[in-house]
Amino acid sequence: MAQTAFRVGFVLFPDLTQLDLTGPYEVMTRMPGAAVDLIWKSTGPVRSEKGLTIEATTTFDTCGHLDMLCVPGGPGVGPLMEDEETLAFLRRAAASVRYLTSVCTGALVLGAAGLLTGKRATTHWMSHDLLSQFGAIPVTERVVVDGAVITGGGVTAGIDFALRIVAEVAGEAVAREVQLAIEYDPLPPFDSGSPRVADETLVARMRERSSARQRSRADIARRAAARLAETR
């Protein structure tokens, strides 16, 4: 009897950060038996934050059952937190997936859908304080596992959580093969990849540069959290 594929779906949306998606996508597509789709409201090209166009392969209505669902982050999460069609899809899919996951600010979309209530979770460090509005328990870790919910921190953390899933589904030996195949052996030239270790002046400058976007995101999160509360 043929083995059933492990079906993975990544939500694709305008203005996402492409590495949030393509990092774990690269890992999951290398797992034996995985069938990976990119899901949006319609099939066809979707423009990412920096202009890279990615093709949606299936839709909310046609994707079928998923074993793993992942929501990436990026500037486009603002509109997504208030997009009822997307939120309804996430709720439907979450009812039967084995793994409900996010990368970076994709966690805020899971939160807006009511899927992080009482769950330990993480997100990009600039938006970490918004998680609690959705009833989540913010945790300052690169990858946070709470039952079926797995959230990754900013951008590159998607590679880490995807390797953990491969290890759980296909075995550690397979996960190690995938890691070696993509030569995931990070040795950054600077020790500034987290606010815990970066220079305080650099962190402050980054916060100031992103202050307008973060204020807007916080306003959207408050509205989304208020609407969520009204439905309970």
5-44 pLDDT tens trace: 999 999 999 999 999 999 999 999 999 999 999 999 999 9
Coil, helix or strand for 24? helix
Task: Check residue 1 and give its pLDDT.
Answer: 41
The fraction of the chain above a pLDDT of 90, given in percent, is: 97
Q: Per the structure block, which two tokens stand in for 97?
A: 């997936």
Q: For residue range 73-122, what is the model confidence (pLDDT) as tens digits? A: 999 999 999 999 999 999 999 999 999 999 999 999 999 999 999 999 99
CA 143, CA 181: separation in Å to the nearest integer? Answer: 22
Q: Which tens digits make up the pLDDT trace of 149-166?
A: 999 999 999 999 999 999
Tell me, what's the pLDDT at 207? 96
Where are the extended beta strands (E) located within the chain?
Answer: 6-11, 34-40, 44-47, 53-56, 58-59, 68-71, 99-103, 120-121, 137-138, 143-146, 149-152
Alpha carbon distance, N-terminus to C-terminus of the chain: 45
pLDDT above 90 (res 138): yes
> pLDDT at residue 232 above 80?
no
Nearest to 159 by CA among 177, 139, 182: 182
Q: Which helix (H) or strand (E) holds 93?
A: helix 84-94
* Domain architecture of the chain: domains with CATH: 6-230 (3.40.50.880)
Q: Determine the pLDDT at residue 81.
A: 98
Judged against a pLDDT cut of 70, whether residue 56 lies above it is answered with yes
Q: Please answer whether residues 130 and 114 qualify as being in contact, where contact means their C-beta atoms are separated by less than 8 angstroms.
A: no
Q: Where does the pLDDT of residue 4 fall: very low under 50, low under 70, confident under 90, or very high at 90 and above? A: confident
Using CA atoms, how far apart are residues 104 and 121, in angstroms rounded to an integer?
11
Cβ neighbors of 68 (< 8 A, separation 6 or more) are 6, 7, 8, 9, 28, 97, 98, 99, 100, 101, 165
* Beta pairing partners, 189: none
Residues noted as catalytic = 104
Residues 134-158 have a mean pLDDT of: 96
User: What pLDDT band is residue 3 in, cutting at 50, 70 and 90?
Assistant: low
Q: Are 41 and 33 in contact (CB under 8 A)?
A: no
Assess whether pLDDT exceeds 80 at residue 135.
Answer: yes
Average of per-residue pLDDT values in the chain: 96
